[in-house]
Amino acid sequence: MILDFSVIWENLPLYFNGVLVTLKLLLISLAVGLTVAVPLALMRVSRQPAVNFPAWLYTYVIRGTPMLVQLFLIYYGLAQFAAVRESFLWPYFSNATFCACLAFAINTSAYTAEILAGSLKATPHGEIEAAKAVGMSRFKLYRRILLPSALRRALPQYSNEVIMMLHTTSLASIVTLVDITGAARTVSSQYYLPFEAYITAGVFYLCLTFVLVRLFKRAERRWLGYMAPRKA
Amino acid sequence: MLNGYGSTIVDGAWLTLLLALTSMAVAILLGLLGAAFRLSPIKWLALLGDAYATVIRGIPDLVLILLIFYGGQDIVNRVAPMLGYEDYIEIDAFAAGVGTLGFIFGAYLSETFRGAFMAIPKGQGEAGAAYGMSGVQVFFRILVPQMIRFAIPGFTNNWLVLTKATALISVVGLQDMMFKAKSAADATREPFTFYLAVAALYLVLTSVSLLALRFLEKRYSVGVKAAEL
């Protein structure tokens, strides 16, 4: 037999630990990223250049450079500065998990901000006019009308972003973390079975992707039900 | 400039560009093939195309790169002795990079192309058939030229993602600008400087691409009237 999966079978616990690490990285970066993305999106829809421009520049630069470069800039790059090495933040910046989460969160915040801004801009005029007509303040208008509706309508695109982020977390293995890809790398180098090791990692990611797609389908049915085509 | 490492990084940048362009050429071929498969009335072809698109898009680029580069090399060397070939076969990093990125982005492009083909009114293909064109002729003469306009926005997106994904090929040892920056960073202990330079180069690459493709989109939409609100 050309392929030998017995070693993979023995090392499954390593892969399952990797799944936990991957999910941890994914959840932290998505949570932080989404929190940052909401104010950024609000800046992006502003008509004042002084507010819009910084947010535009941020998303443009982040979306225009590879994730790997951003990760290396934070993990390896910052150590170049003595000020960083001597600051109280150094324990964080010398930690691979922290740096990976930070880099991923920054990355997803830029993409998510653009998705949300697009969704905010697509709000029907009538809804905003109606809110103004009943005398809502600007803050109330955003809180009650614009954001809830924009966040819902952003769901289909956001699900793509989440799956992209799941795939992005594999870069964490390059900065020594043992996520699913990291587990595969360990197995590959220990037993010299790269094909079996990586194909197993691929299967794990494929399963996670399918689960996420399912979850988002459900979320869409729950929160976007009003937009679904009418059943005959 | 950059402690004398400026020129090696620029060399790396050319390799990055070459890798991106060659991979895109492969991806376009595979994407067209994939889209043709998926739209084909023959069931098992459509299924094969769907499987290609779904599986590849469900696995991270990095894992596929490692799988094809290390795993592929491994499998080739396990199979070769059975066929009576004794030497160790080493796959070139550039060729592996082109193959891998082409294969990955072919799957993404097949989705873009499929949507674009479906956006063409049915009557167009039927008219071609009515003129007595063969299926292949209808595909290349009628469908492909019209599909391009619908595909450009998705294509732009895929091109940008692919350009950025080339950085990952440095992980398997291709001496692109990312790899050169890493060597320079290790030698000078100034990682931030070099990674920032590489980030700037990527930004230039993506910005120029955006402008060029926006121009192309305008060209292909010349005959189309935009609805004014």
Give tens-digit pLDDT for B104-122: 999 999 999 999 989 999 8
pLDDT at B226: 67
What pLDDT score does A84 carry?
Answer: 84
Residue of B10, B179, B180, B28 lying closest to B98 (CA atoms): B28
Identify the pLDDT of residue B78.
84
CATH architecture label of B2-220: Orthogonal Bundle (1.10)
Q: pLDDT-derived band of residue A94, with 50, 70 and 90 as boundaries? A: confident
What pLDDT score does A1 carry? 57
Size of interface A-B (CB pairs under 8 A): 125
Q: Are residues A150 and A119 in contact, defined by beta-carbon separation less than 8 angstroms?
A: yes
Task: Write down the pLDDT at residue A87.
Answer: 87
Spacing of C-alpha B76 from chain mean position: 24
Portion of chain A with pLDDT greater than 90, in percent: 77
pLDDT digit string (tens) for B3-28? 778 888 888 999 999 999 999 999 99
Of A2, A201, A209, the CB nearest to B78: A2
ipTM entry: 0.90
Which token pair is A61? Answer: 């630069």
Higher pLDDT, A217 or B226: A217
Interface of B with A in 93-122 (CB under 8 A): none
- Please, what sign has the CA dihedral across residues B94, B97, B99, B102? negative
Kindly state whether residue A230 falls inside one of the protein's structural domains.
no
Q: For A75-105, what is the HEC assignment?
A: HCHHHHCHHHHHCCCHHHHCCHHHHHHHHHH
pLDDT over 80 (residue A230): no
Q: What are phi and psi of B49, to 5 degrees?
A: -60, -45
Predicted pLDDT of residue B227:
62
Where residue A33 sits, what CATH number does that domain have? 1.10.3720.10
- The pLDDT score that the predictor gives to residue A232 is 66
Residue B208 contacts A, CB cutoff 8 Å:
no
Can you tell me the distance from the alpha carbon of B9 to that of B14, in angstroms, rounded to the nearest whole number?
9
Rg of chain B over Cα atoms, rounded to whole angstroms, equals 21
- Chain A nearest-CA distance from B141, in A, is 34
**B187 at the A interface (CB within 8 A)?**
no
Q: Which residue of B has its CA nearest to A67?
A: B164
Question: Per-domain residue ranges for chain B?
Answer: 2-220
The distance of B101 to chain A (nearest Cα, Å) reads 15
For chain A, what is the mean pLDDT? 92
Asked if residue A207 belongs to a domain, the reply is yes
pLDDT(A28) > 70: yes
User: Looking at the predicted structure, is the pLDDT value of residue B229 above 80?
Assistant: no
CB A181 within 8 A of CB A100: no
User: Which pLDDT tens digit goes with each residue over B128-179?
Assistant: 999 999 988 998 899 888 888 889 989 999 999 999 999 999 998 888 899 9
Whether A215 is in a domain gets the answer: yes
Residue B203's contacts (CB-CB under 8 Å, 6 or more residues apart) are A61, A64, A65
Number of domains in chain A: 1
What is the domain extent for residue A191?
A: 6-225
- Per-residue pLDDT reduced to its tens digit, B197-212: 999 999 999 999 999 9
Question: What are the C-alpha distances in Å from B179 to residues A72, A79, B131, B184, B219?
Answer: 12, 19, 54, 9, 37
CB atoms within 10 A of CB A56: 17
Residue A124 sits at the chain B interface (C-beta within 8 Å): no
Contact B167 A66 (CB under 8 A): yes
**Whether B18 contacts chain A with CB within 8 A:** no
Min distance A40 CA to chain B CA atoms (Å) = 21
- Tell me the pTM: 0.90
Q: How far apart are CA A109 and CA A32, in angstroms?
A: 8
Interchain pair B203, A77: CB under 8 A: no
- Per-residue pLDDT reduced to its tens digit, A124-142: 889 999 999 999 999 999 9
Put simply, whether B72 touches A (Cβ < 8 Å) is: yes
Residue whose C-alpha is closest to residue B195's, from B206, B179, B208, B207: B179
